Structure 1
Amino acid sequence: MNTTSIYQIIHQLKRLQTLPCVSSIAMHGRQVRVDELHAALDERGYKGPRPSRQLKCMSVEVINAALYEADPMHTRCGENDSKNEYQTIALSVLQNIQHGMVMEAALDQALCEIFGDHLVNGEQIESVIHELVGMSAG
């Protein structure tokens, strides 16, 4: 673990946080791994932004809420209190990750299908990922 960089640990945490739900035994195993990775960050004295310590189960509701909060396409859904603005996209994302696609690719594909490739970029995807994983300071 000592040769793993802080960036790699955070990336692993993001990946674990955005995998689709599976059996409760597998989810328990994931939570143990999340705890181990956070312990590695703690051992190194890392105080920067990191994903939540509590594993989430990805669902349409969780993904939709993250899209609503991040509003990656600047639809002003928050100002308009349109909480289901991204519901169709959330469903597509969930289906994509359930079929083995990583979250970043699933978000990119779903957003591009609705808004077009020319309007979607990595910064938007990252803002949604940060919402999904509960990215916060130490």
Structure 2
Amino acid sequence: MTTTSIYQIIHQLMRLQTLPYANSTAVRGRQLQFDKLHAALDKRGYTGSRPSRQLKRMSVEVINAALYETDPMNTCCKENGLTEEYKTIASMVFQHIHHGMVMEAAIDQALCAIFGDHLVNGEQIERVMHELVGMSEG
């Protein structure tokens, strides 16, 4: 029997947190799995960074807010109060996840489409992911 690592549990939590809304039944099942994974971290005495215990419903607005808060491409949107700066990208990300793409890839694809591959890196994607799932920087 293999033991799931803390990293794997956190990764599963992040995936569950960023899945698109399907229906009420799917969300209830997702919440049960989400709670079970958090309980597994608790049982191991884990006190480090982890996703929020509250499942969120992904939407263009939620994704846009995470992009605005992290400003991954350093557009100075926060400093200039431009809350809609990333709205087009958030819409692209939302479409990607509804077509089955995982959130990390969806963010990467959307940012690359607008800013170019050469300007997008994993650190930017990770910051946005942590914001989306309510995970503090550890």
Query: Which TM-score tier does this pair reach, normalised by the shorter chain?
Result: over 0.9
Between 109-118 and 128-137, report the one with greater CA deviation.
Answer: 128-137
Q: Tell me which residue corresponds to 2:110.
A: 110
CA distance in structure 2 between the aligned counterparts of 1:66 and 1:87, rounded to whole angstroms: 11
In structure 2, the gaps of 5 or more residues are: none
**In percent, how many aligned pairs have the same letter?**
74
Once the two structures are superposed, the pairs formed by residues 22-41 of structure 1 within 5 Å of their partners are 22-41=22-41
Amino acid at match of 2:106: A
CA deviations 1:2-27 (Å, max 9, x no partner) are: 71000000000000001101101101
TM-score by length of 2: 0.97
Once the two structures are superposed, the pairs formed by residues 78-93 of structure 1 within 5 Å of their partners are 78-93=78-93
Q: Tell me which residue corresponds to 2:72.
A: 72
Q: Tell me which residue corresponds to 1:100.
A: 100
Q: Secondary structure at the match of 2:91?
A: helix
Runs of 4+ aligned residues of structure 1 deviating over 2 Å after TM superposition are none
TM-score by length of 1: 0.97
Q: Secondary structure at the match of 2:73?
A: coil
CA distance in structure 2 between the aligned counterparts of 1:84 and 1:9, rounded to whole angstroms: 33
1:42 aligns with 2:42: yes
Amino acid at match of 1:61: E
1:136, CA displacement in angstroms? 3.2
Amino acid at match of 2:50: R
CA distance in structure 2 between the aligned counterparts of 1:131 and 1:42, rounded to whole angstroms: 22
In structure 1, the gaps of 5 or more residues are: none
Q: Secondary structure at the match of 2:127?
A: helix
